Amino acid sequence: MRREKSRSSLGVLLLFAIIIGGALYIYNSKMFERDIPTVTMNNSGYWNLKNPLDISIEDASGLKSYKIIIKTSDEERVLYHEQFMSVQQSVHVKVEPPKSAYAMKDKEITIVVEAVDASKWNFLNGNSAVVEYKLWIDKKRPHLTTIANSYKIKKGGAALVIFKADDDNLKDVYIQTNFAKKFIVEPFYKEGYYISLLAWPITKSNFSATIIARDKANNISKTKVPLYIKDKKYRLSNIKISDKFLKGKIADLAEEFSETQGVTDPIEQFKIINEDVRAKNEKLIHEITSKVSDEMISDFSINKMYPLKNAAIVAHFGDHRIYSYKGKAISESYHLGLDMASNAMAKIKPQNSGDVVFAQYNGLYGNMPIINHGLGLYTLYGHCSTLNISNGDSIKAGAHIANTGKSGYAMGDHLHFGILIQGIEVRPAEWMDKTWMKLNINDVIKSAKEIIDRG
């Protein structure tokens, strides 16, 4: 009797174990997973009713069906409904706006995504997800108006443009060029107005700039900056490399740079210095001078530049230099500044205030301060002997910032004076010319302000 009882309780226990084991098996098996499908939509909360909405639905156990519904103030319509014969892990739907949407007056609509997975959970019904997206409707493109601009731009030179970009949901605005450079624009004077200096790199044979404004619903407007394009020829100079030069300056520089360590051939040393080291030094300069403030600028004025008193011009901006050794061309470079020479260790005094953003040694450029004058405009002073300023200093117009010298890749004591706009070297001649500055900078700003004030 006792034995039978214990046997039957053992049976109950075994049954229990089977039930629990089965339940655990179901609970942990993929077939019975309890995770609802994941729904994602690439959206900014706005829809222009033109570009399709991108919806992705995913589930580990696969999807059984999904439905996409649009809810407006006067209808609720199923846009897509699909039931899968064979289980699918994920589905991407490009949701086109319904035709009725074009006439729709709603400012806001709702997109509902319902998805059911192929899990056996929920008494074989699967797990379902319902996700709602509220979208603001914005069908209007931003409105762009050019307010004032320089009349022309010369190859290697600069120009200024001021424009208005109007949109309730403006997302970004910038200026795109034909050479893949995007100029950053800065808010100017009053809400909705923007300003930017533009630069035409000497290495690009053509120039065009287009203002682009995009709102949060991805409506895009474009307008070309109306600039008259003027080509300019730059000097091509052939420079013979002498053994004296290789054994002197180049041998000295080769000891200094990591790039030339272990290289013994003087021609190879020269090529590395003129190409690799130069590229590295210029990359740093371009990085430092590409920054533009995003704060509103209410005014911009700049004085004619001439940082070295009683100086002679010893090399021009934009010279394309071809270097040859024993009659054979071995390397080339562009001279991206203006070389000015006066007495040895002459005082360098920029005519414009600004912030010092770099004041260190930079390879071929030697001791090199860079000053930020705002609006993406920077000035650079190469080959200095001594520096009187440090990174982070603010300087006043006329401050004695450094002395000329021959640090870096310089034969004699001189100043390499560079002007950059958003990382692009431009012709110093324009910024040293009172008439050019009046016509292209000061008058453009003045007339833009007058137009803006008239409303």
**Which residues of the shown chain bind Zn ion in the complex (CB under 5 A)?**
337, 339, 416
For residue 408, the minimal CB distance to Zn ion (Å) is: 10
Q: Which amino acid is at 218?
A: N
Q: Give the nearer residue to Zn ion in terms of CB position, either 368 or 375.
A: 368
Q: Which is nearer to Zn ion, 161 or 380 (CB)?
A: 380
Question: Residue 382 CB, nearest distance to Zn ion (Å)?
Answer: 6
Cβ atoms of residues 369 and 337 within 8 Å: no
Q: Write down the least CB distance from residue 335 to Zn ion, Å.
A: 6
**Min CB(413)–Zn ion separation in Å:** 12
Cβ at position 289, least distance to Zn ion in Å: 16
The full 3-state SS of the chain, as one line of letters, equals: CHHHHHHHHHHHHHHHHHHHHHHHHHHHCHHHCCCCCEEEEECCCEECCCCCEEEEEEEEEEEEEEEEEEECCCCEEEEEEEEEEEEEEEEEEEECCCHHHHHCCCCEEEEEEEEEECCCCCCCCCCEEEEEEEEEECCCCCEEEEEEECCEEECCCEEEEEEEEECCCEEEEEEEECCCCEEECEEECCCCEEEEEEECCCCCCCCCEEEEEEECCCCEEEEECCCEEECCCCCEEEEECCHHHHHHHHHHHHHHCHHHCCCCCHHHHHHHHHHHHHHHHHHHHHHHCCCCCCCCECCCCCCCCCCCCCCEEEECCCCEEEEEECCEEEEEEECCCEEEECCCCCEECCCCCEEEEEEEECHHHCEEEEEEEECCEEEEEECECEECCCCCCEECCCCCCEECECCCCCCCCEEEEEEEECCEEECHHHHCCHHHHHHHHHHHHHHHHHHHHHC
| Minimum distance of Zn ion from residue 168's CB (angstroms) | 49
* Smaller CB separation from Zn ion, 354 or 366: 366
Which residue lies nearer to Zn ion by CB, 37 or 428?
428
- Residue 164 or 416 with smaller CB distance to Zn ion: 416
Residue closer to Zn ion (CB basis): 126 or 418: 418
Closest listed residue to residue 234, CA positions, set 328, 322, 160: 322
> In this complex, which beta carbon is closest to Zn ion, that of residue 93 or of residue 380?
380
Return the number of the residue (186 or 339) whose C-beta is nearest Zn ion.
339
Cβ at position 415, least distance to Zn ion in Å: 8
At closest approach, how far in Å is the CB of 336 from Zn ion? 8
Q: Residue 313 or 439: which CB sits closer to Zn ion?
A: 313
Residue number, 337 or 350, with CB nearest to Zn ion: 337
* Closest CB to Zn ion: residue number: 416
Least spacing, CB of residue 315 vs Zn ion, in Å: 6
What's the min distance (Å) between Cβ of 209 and Zn ion? 28
CA–CA gap between residue 77 and residue 71 (Å, rounded): 7
Q: Beta strands 415-421 and 377-382: pairing type?
A: antiparallel
Q: Closest CB to Zn ion among 373 and 416?
A: 416
Residue 252 beta carbon to Zn ion: minimum distance, rounded to whole angstroms: 18
φ/ψ of 2, rounded to 5, equals -60, -40
Count of CB atoms situated within 10 Å of the CB of 322: 13
Those residues whose C-beta lies under 8 Å from the C-beta of residue 17, and which sit 6 or more positions away, are none
Token pair 């995504």 is found at 113
